[in-house]
Structure 1
Amino acid sequence: MNITSRQLKAFLLTAQHQSFSRAAEQLFITQSGMSVLVRELEAQLGFRLFDRTTRRVTLTEFGVKFLPIADRSLLELEAAAANIGRSATEADRHLSIGATPLIAAELLPPAIAEYAKRKPELQIRVYDTDRPRLIEMVQSGEIDVGLTAFQHAAPGVTKIPLVRFSLILIQSESAPRDLGPRVRWVDIAARKLVGSPPDAPVQELVDEHLRRVGRHQPPEIVCNYLETQIAMVESGAGLAVMPTLALPACLKRRVTLHALVDPVASGTLYWIVNRARKLPAAADGFNAFLREYVSSVVERWPPAAAKAA
């Protein structure tokens, strides 16, 4: 049985007006079209709904019994459709974004605050977590979008380049001023370094460039989070290589910033999504804005007003 809402409306309007022609006017179709809808409904039900005469149309005994059922069914259908429609509209006003702690703390809050001036109706939820959990959340659909510098492919995940960033060197302000504004990779190969675990995206880039200049050992001090590395450098524990994504955090600390050259190294921050998940309509607009916003942050290096060595 394949009863449509249009057939139910045709039946209810005909019963109300006791006339195919007046009912057809309400449904904005022809009288013959109205008659077809009612006959199709009767064929599916297996009984006549109306007694037809040349003067008027009246409900049969079965039509009288079916009337409240049709009325209730149509009301429930329209109410359900309206509720789903409201839910879909509401879903388009929400966007969930996951990021590692530094990005979640330093880049997303001011970006979201600025975007809210343009789109105050959009509600953005931020989830801060480590990289493996972030990818899992995208894969499972727990979040709409993830932000990561992860370079490798992940099952079911599409990586969309958001912005390029550079690698810079930071040193404690209290350390001897033996580094100039521009530092070569070979110049730090024998220095005490603070870094991340070897599978961290930024550390993979750092290790790749250090191997080229003859350093194969891991950092002397390993920290899981970039914020911890910055704090360790500030305390004088060693030097650290940072992505320019960390500039807002670095500029809050007593560290000096140095360009890394020969070669200049860079990486990519990705906007990652589940291939099978349809993003909220607002995602594209925020993606474009975030691209511009993060670009403006990383392009502050090397700024004239930044802390110099």
Structure 2
Amino acid sequence: MTQPNITLRQLRAFLTVAEHRSFSRAAEQLLVSNPWLSETIKDLERQLKFQLFVRTTRSVELTDAGVVLSSLAARVLDDLDSAIKAAQRTADRDGSVLTLGYTIGAGLEVIPWLLRAFAAEYPQRPLRSVEYDFTDPTAGLRDSSVHAAIIRPPTGLAGLTTLELLTEDRVACLPEGHPLAAQDSVSVADLLKEPIIAAPKAPGPWRDYWLLSDYRTTPAPVVDEASTRDGELHLVARGVGISVTSAGAQRFYSRPGVAFRRIRDIPPCVVALAWWPEHTAKVADLVTIATGFKAVADQLADPD
């Protein structure tokens, strides 16, 4: 029996029509003409030797065979996309450019040292760094647009390999003149009723971690969102609300109008280098360099 010569483009066209139940809307999404899309589906049906859609002047519905094909074909294409991404990660083991992502505030101590040390040790290996704001706390790891990233867990990404680089106290950012700013430190309970600035919503537990959601029995009283550290502290300085961040923010983002107070009864936050296991060979040299940062981190924690 001769197998039909079906292309991925035909299958994607079919699935788009099946999703929208409309040739015109599918053509608009695919950026193709209606006649091209209609002929593509007809050609697919000719090769399969069965009808995929029942077309009327008012509607487009899947046949029983079309329902079966749409379900199975969607899984096949998802598996194919996953296979392509896995193959791309494997191909990254060659000597091409290494891309390191980092989230705002997480790489302030780490990134300059890491880039200098890597360049000194491997002068022929290009290393590119990319900054990400709070809309992507995984710094490009979620969609594998980077090979490794400097992040502050938790990210909610199962299967990541991580190397802890340093820990820092978590601090409350308070408007100057706030009653809590008169204290040397604050407790979690002191903060739970305060209006709070949040990071933009994103997949994973990162936003809730900084909202102290694990300590709450009701949702946090979020009054605004900020995608950058400067935006966050600007809102705090205006008196819109408080925020929770790392102690490093006091060193690098200190400004008039904002007081930083250590949260005394909460575990510290972590800065880590993270990567997918598929990229281990690609990032091995970077991991070796990053391992040496521990001594630097200890000096930062205890400068005396």
Which range, TM-score by smaller chain? 0.5 to 0.7
Unaligned segments of structure 2, at least 5 residues: 1-91
Structure 2 distance, partners of 1:178, 1:285, is: 42
The aligned counterpart of 1:135 is 141
Kept in 2: contact 1:166–1:265 (CA 8 A): yes
Structure 1 distance, partners of 2:218, 2:95, is: 50
Give 1:196's match in structure 2, choosing from 190, 196, 199: 199
TM-score (normalizing by structure 2):
0.55
Structure 2 distance, partners of 1:113, 1:294, is: 15
Kept in 1: contact 2:154–2:205 (CA 8 A): no
Kept in 1: contact 2:196–2:211 (CA 8 A): no
- Give the deviation of 1:128 after TM superposition: 1.8
**Percent of aligned positions with the same letter in both sequences?**
12
Unaligned segments of structure 1, at least 5 residues: 1-87, 305-309
Question: CA RMSD of the aligned region, Å?
Answer: 3.6
Q: Deviations 1:165-219 (Å, cap 9, x if unpaired)?
A: 32111223365675311111222222222222465525325423541xx553342
Structure 2 distance, partners of 1:221, 1:89, is: 42
Summarize the Cα distance change of 1:146–1:107 in structure 2 as closer, same or farther, 3 Å threshold: same
Structure 1 distance, partners of 2:196, 2:117, is: 37
The aligned counterpart of 1:111 is 113
Structure 2 distance, partners of 1:115, 1:215, is: 46
- Structure 1 residues 292-303: aligned runs within 5 Å: 292-294=295-297, 296-297=299-300, 299=301
- Give the deviation of 1:260 after TM superposition: 0.9
- Give the deviation of 1:97 after TM superposition: 0.7
Indicate whether 1:246 and 2:252 are aligned: no
TM-score (normalizing by structure 1):
0.54
Structure 1 distance, partners of 2:151, 2:173, is: 22
Structure 2 distance, partners of 1:118, 1:209, is: 43
Structure 2 distance, partners of 1:280, 1:264, is: 33
Kept in 1: contact 2:194–2:221 (CA 8 A): no
Structure 2 distance, partners of 1:158, 1:109, is: 19
Report the 3-state secondary structure (helix = DSSP H, G, I; strand = E; otherwise coil) of the residue aligned with 1:136.
Answer: coil
Structure 2 distance, partners of 1:260, 1:166, is: 7
- Structure 1 residues 185-224: aligned runs within 5 Å: 185-197=188-200, 199=204, 201=206, 203-211=208-216, 216-224=219-227
Indicate whether 1:232 and 2:235 are aligned: yes
Q: Deviations 1:49-81 (Å, cap 9, x if unpaired)?
A: xxxxxxxxxxxxxxxxxxxxxxxxxxxxxxxxx
- Give the deviation of 1:252 after TM superposition: 5.0
Kept in 2: contact 1:148–1:271 (CA 8 A): yes
Summarize the Cα distance change of 1:286–1:245 in structure 2 as closer, same or farther, 3 Å threshold: farther
Structure 2 distance, partners of 1:276, 1:113, is: 22
Q: Tell me the number of residue pairs that the alignment of Structure 1 and Structure 2 aligns.
A: 206
